[in-house]
Amino acid sequence: MAGIGYKIRYAMKNFMNATLVLSFCVVTCVSVVSYASDSETDSITKQYEEKAESLKNKYDASLTKLNDDTIKKYEALLKKRTKGGDLNGAMEIKKKIDALKNDTNPLSDEEPSATGDSLSESQTKAEISDSYIAFYETLMKNNIKDARSYVDPEMVKAATPKIVDSYLGVMGAYIQTAKLSPGDVKIYRIILGKNRKDAKVIGKYKAGMTWHPQKPCYWVQRNGHWYLGDEKVLEKFK
């Protein structure tokens, strides 16, 4: 349902863009073909504008109904998952409802980004998750040099490798004290930035039999790779 809704909306937007181009062509042709009488030109233009307005109104009405119907279905699913104790699933549904109400669409996590990114949202999150887990597992081995390869190169350059290594050493010491091992660190939530080139990442770690959320951290994409960035950026993250 979500994927179909996205495709319908995408197709209709392309159609409306095409009508705008056609409108421009009509105006241009009127100025170039000087032998056409004003009355004939005005008649054609008026017919076009009336039909274009009618199509736009029908599109707006159809889209509004589609959004309303989809929100109702999501809200029913939200109640079902909340009652079933699936809080993470409920949060994801709530995000989709908010996106529709704010007219920001995406209805589906699997649709390609409008920015031209060839990866879907879920694929992008998977890449971040892989880098996040690999970074912590490297620290579990107390391999500071390899861990630094997961830190934003711009930050390493600005702070110097020595300072970054010192910071990573503190993190590594904490991990060693907590006796964390592979499988004890996972992703809790990833929130992508508007352009999907950075993200707010919240991980979780296992202590005993209990999972605990970690402090949010900032990850940024550089040349197709994801790196741990400056957490201060989270203050203005969108």
Mean of pLDDT values over 103-111: 45
On whether both 125 and 97 belong to a single domain, the answer is no
Count of structural domains, the chain: 2
The Cβ-side half-sphere exposure at 137, using a 13 Å CA radius, reads: 10
The CB density around residue 228, as the number of other CB atoms within 10 Å, is 22
Residue 115 lies in a domain: no
Q: Please report, for residues 34, 38, 55, 168, the alpha-carbon distance to residue 41 in angstroms, rounded to integers and kept in the order given.
A: 10, 5, 21, 72
On whether both 95 and 200 belong to a single domain, the answer is no
Domain that holds residue 34: 2-101
The residue ranking higher by pLDDT, 100 or 60, is: 100
Read out DSSP for 86-124?
-HHHHHHHHHHHHHHHTT-----TTSBPTT--SSBHHHH
- At 169-186, the pLDDT tens digits run 999 998 888 888 888 999
The residue ranking higher by pLDDT, 51 or 141, is: 141
Euclidean distance between CA atoms 96 and 98, whole angstroms: 5
On whether both 221 and 129 belong to a single domain, the answer is yes
- Contact between 110 and 123 (Cβ < 8 Å): no
Residue 111 lies in a domain: no
- The CATH number of residue 164's host domain is 3.10.450.50
On whether both 36 and 78 belong to a single domain, the answer is yes
On whether both 147 and 227 belong to a single domain, the answer is yes
Residue 138 lies in a domain: yes
Residue 229 lies in a domain: yes
pLDDT value, residue 40: 75
Q: Which two tokens stand for residue 4?
A: 């179909």
Residue 116 lies in a domain: no
- At 47-65, the pLDDT tens digits run 877 777 777 677 667 777 8
Residue 126 lies in a domain: yes
On whether both 147 and 223 belong to a single domain, the answer is yes
On whether both 157 and 88 belong to a single domain, the answer is no
Read out DSSP for 151-195?
B-HHHHHHH-HHHHHHHHHHHHHHHHHHT--TTSEEEEEEEE-TT
On whether both 127 and 42 belong to a single domain, the answer is no
Conformation bin of residue 152: beta by default, left when phi > 0, alpha when psi is -120 to 50: beta
Residue 108 has pLDDT above 80, yes or no: no
Percent of the chain with pLDDT over 70: 75
pLDDT value, residue 38: 61
Residue 21 has pLDDT above 60, yes or no: no
Mean of pLDDT values over 63-79: 84
- Contact between 184 and 205 (Cβ < 8 Å): yes
What's the pLDDT band for 88 if we cut at 50, 70, 90? Answer: confident
Mean pLDDT of the chain: 76
On whether both 89 and 171 belong to a single domain, the answer is no
The CB density around residue 75, as the number of other CB atoms within 10 Å, is 13
Q: Which of 227, 197, 34, 11 is nearest to 132 (CA)?
A: 227
- At 195-212, the pLDDT tens digits run 889 999 999 988 888 888
- Containing 41, the helix (H) or strand (E) segment is helix 38-83
pLDDT value, residue 103: 57
Residue 166 lies in a domain: yes
